[in-house]
Amino acid sequence: MNREHFFCFLIFLTFTSLFYLSCEQDDNVVSETSVTLAGRVVDARTNRGIPDANVRTAQFPETGRTDSNGDYVFTIITGDSFQAEVDVIASAAQYIADTISIMARSGRRIELPTFQLRNIADTPDTNIHTGPSGPPSSILFIGSNVPSIGVRETGIVEAMILTYEVRDNRGVPVDLNNRTTVRFRIEGSTGGGEYLGNDTAVTDINGRVSCSIISGIRPGTVQVVASCNDTIVARPVRVTIHSGPPDSLHTTIGFDRINFPGLDWVARIDTVMVLIGDRYSNPVPAGTRAYFSSDHGVIQGMGITNDNGIAWVLLFSGNPYPPTGWSYAHVQTVDWTGNSYSVSGRLLWSGVIGFFQVTPTSFTVANRGSQAFEVYLADWLNHPLSRGTTFKVSATVGVLTGDVDLVFPDTQSDGWTRFYFTLSDDDPNEAEPPKACIISIETRGLNGNAIITASGTVD
């Protein structure tokens, strides 16, 4: 092979490799308006893949089918900025369907846990029995159509169907000759208005009955109890009702310090937090994502809510600094309709001490007399100093009253820039000549430390 042919061959191999790699990468590309779901469906007893099983979601129309190995991949169209719980359901002929709930977000590929479906022939409740059954002896909970429900009118599944089987003392499902009425009731209500779709049902040919429970406006866990003949009671079934997605009217942004002493420093830290509730004032589910931004400084981008619906991130002082001291932080999330919304909070960045002056600076307090003073203390933009700043006044002679020993709250109010105190004669009955007096006014805090004085006499 001559040199020209060799280089042509190398170029051909390079482009072939790049083309192959690009094809491999395209398989993993997920649109920002969709979610790709992937996983496997197997027989619970043999652990072998189940071919031609159907996989779908309760919320979207798109479906998938497993291949000969039980593997599936399919995509649901969610739209931009989608983030919510999705119920994925796997079913196959001669198998009992199963559901897995996941938190889905647009633009992601999600690998689900393996579905392990039970073959109808392997389940204890479908054994073949000969001869008639006896009268009812026990009630067995068979299962539910979904693992959990959400509060009403929030886009989450609101109803759960519970299925029971009534059996005789041999474990045989009761037949039609021994059919019975099963009664249902809720125990431990959340107080949110959840209710049963039916409070009684008569057993069918297989000895089975079903009832439905519909959520109210409060999250929590309730129990459904099934009974018959006043003496046969099934073990209570726990039903979890989740809170709903975020609601803009129940979203509040806040700060550890609304007066942030970061205007003249680098990498000082403030905490920005958000409290998110659903439309019924319940905390949103733990794990809800909130995205933060700030007009100034540097802020962490994402927070995840805890069980109380609270998420927080850190804000660092740095460029760009707010030229007036005033700034805004913002938090964005997605409501139950899939629409994005944001809320904002105003933050004051305070700087080093720029103004610290007392009026008057000299004084004469006559016998039985007094002198009033005014102090102006602010940063260089005339804003109040930050939380924890101390303000103390002392005098070598006389009695001080008024604003003489203060600790600043977390405030943005200009009312914390002016302070007033009075110096009075401490011994009005003495006849000694006037004494020299020094008043010292000291402040210490994260905005800096400073002392000023005024001098005079007290008779």
Please write the tens of the pLDDT for every residue from 78-109: 876 777 777 788 888 888 878 888 888 888 99
- One domain for residues 232 and 260: no
pLDDT digits (tens, 9 = 90+) for 121-151: 776 544 444 568 999 999 998 888 888 899 9
Q: Give the pLDDT mean for 244-273.
A: 97
Closest to 194 (Cα-Cα) out of 166, 176, 213, 207 = 213
234 with 127, same domain: the answer is yes
* Rounded mean pLDDT, 250-275: 98
Residue 3 included in any domain = no
pLDDT at 22 over 60: no
Whole-angstrom CA distances from 107 to 86, 104, 207 are 15, 9, 46
Residues 109 and 167 in one domain: no
15 found inside a domain: no
In a domain, 302, yes or no: yes
Residue bearing the bigger pLDDT, 447 or 230: 447
Residues 319 and 292 in one domain: yes
Closest CA to 371 of 416, 314, 415, 420: 420
> What is the reported pLDDT for 105?
85
**Average pLDDT estimate for 39-59:** 89
Give CA–CA dist 162/89, Å, rounded: 16
Q: Domain ends where: 193, 213, 242?
A: 242
- Decide if 12 is inside a domain: no
> Could you give the C-alpha distances from 346 to 122, 257, 260, 326, 334, in angstroms and in order?
63, 11, 11, 7, 22
Report the side by side order of strands in the sheet with 399-402: 353-359, 370-379, 418-424, 399-402
- Residue in 114, 98, 110 with CA at minimum distance from that of residue 48: 114
Do the domain assignments include residue 10?
Answer: no
Residues 206 and 278 in one domain: no
Residue 17 has pLDDT above 60, yes or no: no
d(CA 164, CA 201): 10
80 and 156 housed in the same domain: no
Q: Do 223 and 143 fall into the same domain?
A: yes
Q: Give percent of the chain above pLDDT 70.
A: 91
Q: Which residues contact 433 (CB under 8 A, 6 or more apart)?
A: 459
User: Is residue 26 assigned to a domain?
Assistant: no
Where is the domain boundary, 349, 374, 389? 349
What is the count of structural domains for the chain?
4
Residues with Cβ within 8 Å of residue 128, at least 6 apart in sequence: none
Say if residue 204 is in the same domain as residue 263.
Answer: no
* DSSP label at residue 277: B
What average pLDDT does this structure show over 179-204?
Answer: 95
pLDDT in tens, 262-274: 999 999 999 999 9
Question: 201 and 103 in one domain?
Answer: no
Q: How far apart are CA 358 and CA 163, in angstroms?
A: 80
Q: What is the CATH number of the domain that holds 47?
A: 2.60.40.1120
Q: Give the range of the structural domain holding residue 57, as residue numbers without chain letter.
A: 31-119
Burial track 395-434 (b if 16+ CB lie within 10 A, e otherwise) = bebbebeebbeeebeebbeeebbebebbbbbeeeeeeeee
Cα separations in angstroms, 149 against 58, 87, 369 = 12, 10, 76
Do residues 108 and 185 both lie within one domain?
Answer: no
User: Tokens 């599936």 belong to which residue?
Assistant: 72
Distance CA 307, CA 285 (A): 7
Q: What is the pLDDT of residue 21?
A: 37
pLDDT at 26: 40
Same domain (yes/no): 361, 314? no
CATH number at residue 226: 2.60.40.10
* One domain for residues 69 and 175: no
Domain termination site, one of 209, 242, 275: 242
At 385 the pLDDT is 98
The answer to whether 207 and 173 have CB atoms below 8 angstroms apart is yes
As a whole-number percent, the residues of the chain with pLDDT over 90 amount to 68
Q: Which two tokens stand for residue 314?
A: 């850190």
Alpha-carbon distance values, 268 to 139, 227, 301, 316, 443 (Å): 63, 63, 17, 5, 20
Judged against a pLDDT cut of 70, whether residue 16 lies above it is answered with no
Residue 392 counted as domain residue = yes
Instruction: Report if residue 107 sits inside a domain.
Output: yes
Q: Is the pTM of this model over 0.75?
A: no
| 20: helix, strand or coil | helix
Whole-angstrom Cα distance, residue 258 to residue 296?
Answer: 14
